[in-house]
Amino acid sequence: MPQDHASHHHHHHHHHLSAGAGDARVAWAVAVNMALTLAQIVGGILSGSLALIADALHNFSDAIALIIAFGARRIARRPATAQMSFGYGRAEAVAALVNYTTLVVLAIYLIYEGVMRVLEPEPVNGWLVVWIAILALVVDLATAALTYALSKDSMNIRAAFLHNVADAMGSVAVIVAGTAVILWDWTWVDPLVTLMIAAYILWHVWSDVGEVFGVLMLAGPADLRAESVADAVEAVEGVAEVHHVHLWIMQEHQPSLEAHLVIAEADWSRADAVKAAVKQRLHADFGIGHSTLELECAPFACAGAARFGHG
């Protein structure tokens, strides 16, 4: 994860597609993946290739991932209501978590099937495997291209995009397995590739799920150190101390902060100006657009308050 920047100045630059164009891309990616899944399952059954079926299930999980991602994108754009005052933006993080969970279940199933196939090998039609895997590779690359631009702005779409990249690698591995059967009749390569696909799925879930948990658990942004933010607030003229600081990611790319500002007694007459200066500093230096600040005059400040959290 990115560490604290030496400079506090980091402004996020994102490449936004219009919502409609983005939705159309996701819809196309879903349709193509569903068609491919069907072709691979039929091919896997006819050729006797477990690796091809493994790749098909991975593709199916991609299509489901994209459907969930698609739905979450629509939900996330809903405006805030009295009941849902924070809005629906977190729907994308929930969707990403559901996607990663389904991938883990899928990987465990593939490991089980792969081990059983190693113990009891079955014949495989190499040519059929290779041709269908080549078709799958083309589709995976096309889907990845459709979702790549969207993945820069959304952890939810990024989860779906990574599924596709993993799929493309899986298709390459299946092509290798089919070729090994054609050239040397090595049927054991097929379950081996199945186990490799499963291991790769688990590895990429492990490396990406932390960010999703961070958003859902109200963690601070990975590229902001809370200590640095608190120090910058205390450096504003008129601020004697800051405590009860909460820094979290409301949605991806939207850091938020709430805190108690202790205003020096001599500066109490201009407390509102001090607060405005703090908000301006938070926005300019850290990109924090949403901040809620409670003002306390130094003689009446909370006694023994923790710098971070409610303690």
Contact 46, 125 (CB under 8 A): yes
Confidence check: pLDDT of 188 > 70: yes
Residue-by-residue DSSP string for 236-256: STTEEEEEEEEEEEEETTEEE
More confidently predicted of 228 and 67: 228
Query: Cβ neighbours of residue 242 under 8 Å, at least 6 residues apart?
Result: 230, 233, 234, 259, 260, 261, 262, 307
Question: What is the mean pLDDT of the segment spanning 54-78?
Answer: 81
All CATH 1.20.1510.10 domain ranges in the chain, comma separated: 19-216
CA distance to 133, 162, 197, 281, per residue, from 59 (Å): 12, 12, 12, 47
Confidence check: pLDDT of 17 > 80: no
Q: Is 260 helix (H, G, I), strand (E, B) or coil?
A: strand
Residue 9, pLDDT score: 42
Confidence check: pLDDT of 183 > 60: yes
Dump pLDDT digits (tens) for 257-271. 999 999 999 999 999
Tokens 């009860």 appear where?
A: 244
Residue 18, pLDDT score: 65
Contact 195, 54 (CB under 8 A): no
All CATH 3.30.70.1350 domain ranges in the chain, comma separated: 226-300
CB atoms within 10 A of CB 63: 21
According to CATH, what is the number of the domain 226-300?
Answer: 3.30.70.1350
Q: Using CA atoms, how far apart are residues 85 and 137, in angstroms rounded to an integer?
A: 44
Residue 106, pLDDT score: 86
Dump pLDDT digits (tens) for 92-110. 888 889 888 988 998 999 8
Fold of 19-216: Alpha-lytic protease prodomain-like (1.20.1510)
Residues in the chain, overall count: 311
pLDDT confidence bin for 296, thresholds 50/70/90: very high
Residue 252, pLDDT score: 65
List the single range of 4-13, 20-29, 223-232 with lowest mean pLDDT: 4-13
Confidence check: pLDDT of 11 > 80: no
3-12, 86-95, 123-132 — which one is most confidently predicted on average? 123-132
Confidence check: pLDDT of 5 > 90: no
Determine the residue type at 18: S
